[in-house]
Amino acid sequence: SEYLICDLNVSKEAIETLLELKIELDIPLAIVGVSGPKMAHLPEDLTALDVIICNIDETQTYFKTDIEDASQLCQLWLDKGVKKVVVTAGSAGAYYGEGKHIAYQKARVVEQTSIVDVTGAGDAFSSALMYGIIEGYSLSEAVQLGTINASLTIQVTHAVNPNISIKTIKEELKKGAAPQVAINAGFDRAFVTILDANITTLLVAIILYTIGTGPVKGFAITLSIGIMTSMFTAIMGTRA
């Protein structure tokens, strides 16, 4: 494995074992916060930890502090020996730090009328951020990827948007495109991928209907309807 990634739904003993395994196998370890109470699962000694991603409340709970300044909370993690730190503050953005450097990433503004479901925004942020780190992006770039992914996630009903590629949006943003332009480009380029992923299955369904009988024909019809519905929602139903 290139990276060990774990959230705090597991026990404190499990986290301690992962920290030992990280040292033994020399594999980077990232831990993602889940809630304030679950911070009790995080050990005291974090000098071996490579990445932590958590919010203000979780950080306050762990350090038993009333500090509300996310940059100061970020520094507390760095002082514990964690190599890369990200402290999120919801719509207020996030602070991130590495070594002696702490910086701020503002949240990507989404119009209230465009927000569909905020469920999964945190997971989308963490997953895109870790993708960036694993792929060798700087912490700043990785946090930006997380911010973009979270903003896109809250605009659709899907927990994982099938139309958006992190790579595509990253390329468009590098060109200086406005966020919505980058999103549109992502959708346009994703169309071919969506079509390719579904057309083979649809062809199989047609063949089954042609040569099959009874229940096989029924299965082929159901499969075809499912594929066409999936394609329609992926292309039309989730577009920003």
Cα–Cα distances (Å) from 98 to 46, 56, 104, 115, in that order, read 14, 17, 12, 32
Token pair, residue 1, equals: 């494995």
CA-wise closest residue to 148 among 111, 117, 109 = 109
pTM above 0.75, yes or no: no
Task: Report the range of poorest mean pLDDT among 9-13, 177-181, 215-219.
Answer: 177-181
CA-wise closest residue to 84 among 69, 71, 74, 72 = 74
Percentage of the chain exceeding pLDDT 70: 73
Q: How many CA atoms lie within 13 A of 9 on its CB side?
A: 3
* pLDDT at res. 172: 46
- Report residue 153's pLDDT band, with 50, 70 and 90 as the boundaries: confident
User: Under a CB-based contact definition with an 8 Å cutoff, are residues 23 and 48 in contact?
Assistant: yes
- Report residue 102's pLDDT band, with 50, 70 and 90 as the boundaries: very high
Stretch 81-107: mean pLDDT: 94
| Better-scored residue on pLDDT, 43 or 238 | 43
Tell me what the pLDDT averaged over the chain comes to: 82
Whether pLDDT at 154 is above 80 = no
Q: SS3 of 51, please?
A: strand
**What pLDDT digit, counting tens, does each position of 42-87 carry?**
999 999 999 999 999 999 999 999 999 999 999 999 999 999 999 9
In whole angstroms, what is the distance from residue 210 CA to residue 37 CA? 58
* pLDDT at res. 181: 46
Residue with tokens 């577009």: 239
Contacts of 182 by beta carbon, 8 Å cutoff, 6+ apart:
169, 172, 173
Which of left, alpha, beta for 214 (phi over 0: left; psi -120 to 50: alpha)? left
* pLDDT at res. 73: 97
Cα–Cα distances (Å) from 169 to 130, 186, 191, in that order, read 16, 6, 14
Around Cβ 156, how many Cβ atoms within 10 Å?
A: 21
Whether pLDDT at 114 is above 70 = no
Whether pLDDT at 159 is above 60 = no
